[in-house]
Structure 1
Amino acid sequence: MKRTVIATLMLMTALSSAALAQSEQQAEKVSTGHILYENRYFTGEVYTGYFAGVGLHVAATVNHFADGFPFQLRLGLGYAWVPTGDAMRARRVFIDQNTNGSPRGHGKMWDARVDILMPIKLFSLKRSRLFFGPRKASYTAYFEYIGGNETFDVISKPWGVGGGLETSFALSPRVDMIVTAGADYYFRSLLTGHDTYYRPNGDDLNAKEDFTYKDADEAVAQPNLNSRIMFGVAYRF
């Protein structure tokens, strides 16, 4: 009987030690953020902040893209209210030399992106990730000349690349606050306005006066090298 009690106590002690070790290991995963990638397959994210202008951004991250693949994959779509550029200069470059009318306008940009994310440890921030990938933007600058009987859009749809760094802070077992910063570079692309087309290679159509692509680029605030600072919330499914 005594031997049975001793054996039972030893077994209970061993099981308790194993459970404690497992608990500590799980706590370590949570504290380092590994649970973000190990136990959740999909993350939905909503951001607000600045990228070329004040905007909103939504994204979806696949944390387990493929067996053995060490990174995460994220798809994102954003909308920003952006500057238009020089309204009077844009009129001369894309339409004519008229100067009548009071100019006003607004700009917008749709932004689509794909990112590869790599978890890193940054100082004491254990839930950080580097990201990089291709970009595609659709930029529109709308110009109106009050009293001048003239309105037109200038449109650009450039490709680009970008990257940055983000870190997250747990608000609950499934919800994180995310802070992200980075930069995007967009390559020069076709600029269209009214019936005029300016191309980076100089193959222009209906160019006004002696204006070139450089003049058109300087007249509007199309995406070029843009910084990006965003704050968001992520939910892990």
Structure 2
Amino acid sequence: MSQQRHGSTPGNAGAVPAFPDLPEATIARLPEYLRALHHLAETGADTISSEGLAAAAGVNSAKLRKDLSHLGSYGTRGVGYDVALLVDQIEYILGLDQRRAVCLVGVGNLGHALAGYAGFASRGFRIVALFDADPARVGEQINGLTVRHFDELPRVAAAEALAIGVIATPANAAQAVADGLVAAGVTSILNFAPCVLSVPPGVDVRKVDLAIELQILSFHEHRKASLTALPGGRENAGGQEAVGS
């Protein structure tokens, strides 16, 4: 069955609904597919098999085919998926064709690095404003933007139609920043502060905690070390008898 473009007329075979109701797990994987597809497009690939795309995205091919079927994309037998068409479909579903305006609050070490990252623009986002409450930071130029005082948020939010706020402040300031973003009409927040935010219904928060990710990796390191120390583990491989046996 061939792929269909988003916006196809309802009732057509394989047509994509105006906006499909996707499982959360599928939504979480779509950016991985998009990243892989962008890389394929940059290398000149016009089509890609489900197995090839799954390998590039780090998932199994059956899961990928099921995810893409929610978009009405089934590929073409013997050919695979049209790379450019699939990019269009996924970007549409993720809303990346709208070039959403993003503000960043907190320009310390992490915030400064995020503000200088050029990859946002190529993935459908515009960093339009930087904020900080530290007078020493206000007025600083980062990647062509001037750091504003956080008090200016309401005016800038209205002028720029801010869609997403990124919090890169210390934990003790994050809730106040979130409150300010919500009051200014921002309904999507990406939180890098190591804390849980309280927000009203209708506001979506995604949390990125680097320390937690390191702790999870530490668990896996601990588990691997424990397994190798067990009788029959790698330390005892090659027929060596366990100490004390």
What TM-score bracket applies, with the shorter chain setting the length? under 0.3
Structure in which a larger fraction of residues adopt strand: 1
**TM-score by structure 2 length?**
0.20
Structure in which a larger fraction of residues adopt helix: 2
Whose relative contact order is higher, 1 or 2, with alpha carbons under 8 Å and at least 6 apart? 1
Larger radius of gyration: 1
